[in-house]
Amino acid sequence: MKALYKAGPQAGFELVDRPEPEAGPADVKIRVMTTGICGTDLHIQSWDSWAQGIIEAPLIAGHEFYGEVVEVGEDVREVKVGDRVSGEGHVVCGICRNCRAGRRQMCIHTVSVGVQRDGAFAEYVVIPETNVWVHHDPSVTPELGAIFDPFGNAVHTALSFPWWVKMSSSPARAPSA
């Protein structure tokens, strides 16, 4: 398959042929249709100090994507071949103390798609079923599906701050009729 590949510790990506990834028992193989380019990908491309401290090349970057499921592992129960999907880029262990307590975002064994494991700047990407977001609504275009990850970050950030409290106490509100 064709992939943008970080072959070693230097700036740039190479367009190369790589073996297609194989789905494990709990994995989903996705034919990538569209990707987004994140700031993380730009750090990896430029091989700045952040990338040098976290990336272990060789690597296929990319974690913002949309695609079609082409294969599922034998333990996959909900995701089906033909589903249109995006994915959560943080793969967690599911068994550490934080995961078991429902704090998966604090998993001490988190591995990021396109950062510590091969990502979506390729024809195919493989991720665990638990990381797949199925888009049942046909109005979700490949372009929109590829930005669910950064859009989710923005929504989470906006909803984490109680802006409605500040607005309700603001003296600049329009007067009541």
Q: What pLDDT does residue 152 have?
A: 77
Superfamily of domain 2-167: Medium-chain alcohol dehydrogenases, catalytic domain (3.90.180.10)
User: Given 40, 90, 141, 157, which residue is catalytic?
Assistant: 40
For residue 156, indicate whether it is catalytic. no
| Cβ 122 vs Cβ 4: under 8 Å | yes
User: Given 43, 90, 136, 157, which residue is catalytic?
Assistant: 43
Q: Please give the Cα distance from 52 to 123 (Å, whole number).
A: 26
Q: What pLDDT does residue 171 have?
A: 55
For residue 135, indicate whether it is catalytic. no
Buried b (16+ CB within 10 A) or exposed e, 125-161: bbbbbbbbbbbeeeebebeebbbbbeeeeeeeeeeee
Domain ranges of the chain: 2-167
Token output for 141 = 């275009």
Q: What pLDDT does residue 167 have?
A: 59
Q: Please give the Cα distance from 85 to 140 (Å, whole number).
A: 10
Q: What does the pLDDT profile of the chain (177 residues) look like in tens digits? A: 999 999 999 999 999 999 999 999 999 999 999 999 999 999 999 999 999 999 989 999 999 999 999 999 999 999 999 999 999 999 999 999 999 999 998 999 999 999 999 999 999 999 999 999 998 888 888 888 888 888 777 787 888 877 655 655 555 555 555
